[in-house]
Amino acid sequence: MPTKQQGADVPRGVFVAFEGGDGAGKSTQANTLADELTSAGFEVVRTREPGGTPAAEAIRAVVLTPDYAGLDPRAEALLFAAARSEHVSRLIAPALARGAIVICDRYVDSSIAYQGVARGLGVDVVTEINMWATGGLLPDLTVLLDVDANAGLERATDPNRLEDEPESFHAAVVEAFRQLAAAQPDRYLVISAAQSRTAIADVVLEHVRGLLAARSVL
């Protein structure tokens, strides 16, 4: 059997995802990192989930609006996965293929933590639908901004349907993120989100610079 051409479908860019509960500081840190790397001359694609393309943003509006309180959990999991599939195929994968740095606010781990663990659908099934949806694309680095649920919710600025869940739901999300990071320490950078914005940004930038240097793109 002929071997597949080496690297034919292997992303060449760098994919960084920010994870954590609402109010952890994901959007703040994603913006800061994107600004730093853009200033340093890199092509940066700063995006978010659910969303990132017009269709995925339309799914975001459905899945996050408080109008659909009580949305069926499986429908919720599938809508997030559907948005992600569109996002990966139309925005993230093409950006990585041309060598860009993709900085994404939330990714698959959010689905595992929220739908798999906190909603109780199961880690395995949520992982499986997301691996199918994304073709198995995972970030090179996932930055987990670790903050206790209450502290995060006090900081959170955009109200959404999931934010309205009880405290036990958010505590389960925080714990799920910690376990995901502990299970794959090579792929995660866990930072206490209780630190200042600049202290966090410095640690993230240093780590990403190390990743870029290791890839010989710096």
Ligand X SMILES: Nc1ncnc2c1ncn2[C@@H]1O[C@H](COP(=O)(O)OP(=O)(O)O)[C@@H](O)[C@H]1O
Which residue from 6, 17, 23, 27 is in contact with Mg ion, where contact means CB under 5 A?
27
Out of ligand X, Mg ion, none, which partner does residue 197 contact, by CB within 5 to 8 A per kind?
A: ligand X
Does 200 contact ligand X by CB under 6 A? yes
In angstroms, what CA-CA distances link 29 with 125, 134, 138, 159, 183?
30, 24, 20, 19, 23
13 versus 51: smaller Cβ distance to Mg ion: 51
Interface of this chain with ligand X, residues 142 to 161, rule: CB under 6 A: 155-157
Out of Mg ion, ligand X, none, which partner does residue 204 contact, by CB within 5 to 8 A per kind?
A: none
Residue 7 φ/ψ region, left for φ over 0, alpha for ψ in the -120 to 50 degree band, beta for the rest? left
For strand 188-192 and strand 101-105, is the pairing parallel, antiparallel, or unpaired?
Answer: unpaired
Out of Mg ion, ligand X, none, which partner does residue 150 contact, by CB within 5 to 8 A per kind?
A: none
Does 26 contact ligand X by CB under 6 A? yes
Residue with tokens 């920010």: 18
129 versus 180: smaller Cβ distance to ligand X: 180
What are the residues whose beta carbons fall under 8 Å from the beta carbon of 183, sequence distance 6 or more? none
56 versus 121: smaller Cβ distance to Mg ion: 56
